[in-house]
Amino acid sequence: MLDGHDPLAIAACADALASGELVAFPTETVYGLGARADDDRAVARIFQAKGRPADHPLIVHLAGVALASRFCDDWPALAQRLTAAFWPGPLTVIVPRAAGVAYASTGGQPTVGLRCPDHPVALALLRAAAARGVPGIAAPSANRFGRLSPTCAAHVVAELGDEPGLRVLDGGDCPVGIESTIIDCSRTHPVLLRPGTLTRRAIEAVLGEPLLARDAAAPHPRSAGLFRWHQTQIGHQLTGRLESGQVADRSDEDDGRDQIDPAYGSQGLHQGGHRPARQHRRDPAFELIA
């Protein structure tokens, strides 16, 4: 493990990324397993290390919105409003991808997920990498496929410590500990693809329009973390953090609406943060990517 607050460690990891190697690094949500997002061979190493299916897209992490143009030719107005309000922060926007983005980063889709994390170590690494010609870092959670997402460096070492050449930047515990909210901005109206800690009311206030639920019948882009088990994990994490006081109960502020939409097939938060008594309906969209 390397000290994420040591400039020499940041520089060494940025050099490694520029050379096509893997680096695990902290964000405010979870630890990510990163490779340069413009290099298919480097990104392929992520899938190999995790045992992740190759058609599952990754989130590309950026040092700031100015670098989004490297990955998206036509920046949607929806994405502009959301990123102006919530970046850096736990929000991923799905946008049309530009030519030259690593095919492996997008799972072969015409869209790409972009995020600017709100963590000093992540931002230092992203800026150092950008200075070395790395426009963004593709990074899923730093764990074996199907396992719990790591929220400290020790978790990463326990999961991936035997991966040859892997550098792990230790930035302490992740303050949020739950994956980012994902919103599809690639179409006319915004669609919530994955819930997170951002509230529906806050998102809609920025957008100036309702945030649509994922429609199982519509061909929405495949996105990171949309497995039924993953959504259930997020639902349980949010519920546990709310009950322990780590996350504020915002049910009154959200007009009583669920923070996790029933369309996800997860055990969502209802008013007061209680789990529902029944299971939500089965969503065929999950079966397409499982």
pLDDT tens digits for 67-108? Answer: 999 999 999 999 999 999 999 999 999 999 998 788 888 988
Domain containing 148 — which CATH number? 3.90.870.10
Contacts of 108 (CB under 8 A, 6+ apart): 55
Query: How would residue 241 be classed by pLDDT, with cut points 50, 70 and 90?
Result: very low
The pTM is what?
A: 0.79
Amino acid of residue 286: F
- Range list of H helices, the chain: 7-18, 40-50, 77-86, 103-106, 120-131, 153-160, 200-207, 228-243, 284-289
Which of 6-10, 163-167, 172-176, 249-253 has the least mean pLDDT?
Answer: 249-253
Q: Work out the percent of the chain whose per-residue pLDDT is above 70.
A: 74
| 237 in a structural domain | no
Domain span including residue 114: 2-170
What are the C-alpha distances in Å from 167 to residues 22, 40, 220? 7, 19, 35
Residues 6+ apart with CB under 8 A from 263: 213, 214, 215, 216, 280, 283
Average pLDDT of the residues in 143-161: 96
Average pLDDT over residues 273-287: 30
Q: How many domains does the chain divide into?
A: 1
Q: Which residues of 200-231 are buried (b: 16+ CB within 10 A; e: fewer)?
A: beebbebbeeebbebebeeebbbbbbbbbebb
Contact (Cβ atoms closer than 8 angstroms) between residue 63 and residue 124? no
Report the pLDDT value the prediction gives residue 99, as an integer from 0 to 100.
Answer: 84
Residue 236 lies in a domain: no
| 3-state SS assignment for residue 104 | helix
Token code pair at residue 118: 């709100």
Average pLDDT score, the chain: 81
**Is residue 33 a part of any domain in this protein?**
yes
**pLDDT score of 197:** 95
pLDDT of residue 224: 59
pLDDT of res. 277: 32
Query: Is 272 inside any structural domain?
Result: no
Top-confidence residue, 86 or 230: 86
pLDDT over 80 (residue 114): yes
Q: Is the peptide bond preceding residue 88 cis, with omega within 30 degrees of 0?
A: yes
Q: Does residue 234 lie within any of the structural domains?
A: no
Both tokens assigned to 237? 């994490």
Angle at 71 between CA 24 and CA 182, to 5 degrees: 65
Question: What's the distance, Cα to Cα, between the start and end of the chain in Å?
Answer: 33
Region of poorest pLDDT, from 9-23, 75-89, 111-125, 265-279: 265-279
Q: Residue 289: pLDDT above 70?
A: no
Does 17 fall in a domain? Answer: yes
pLDDT number for residue 102: 84
The reply to whether 229 falls in a domain is: no
Flag whether 79 is in a domain. Answer: yes
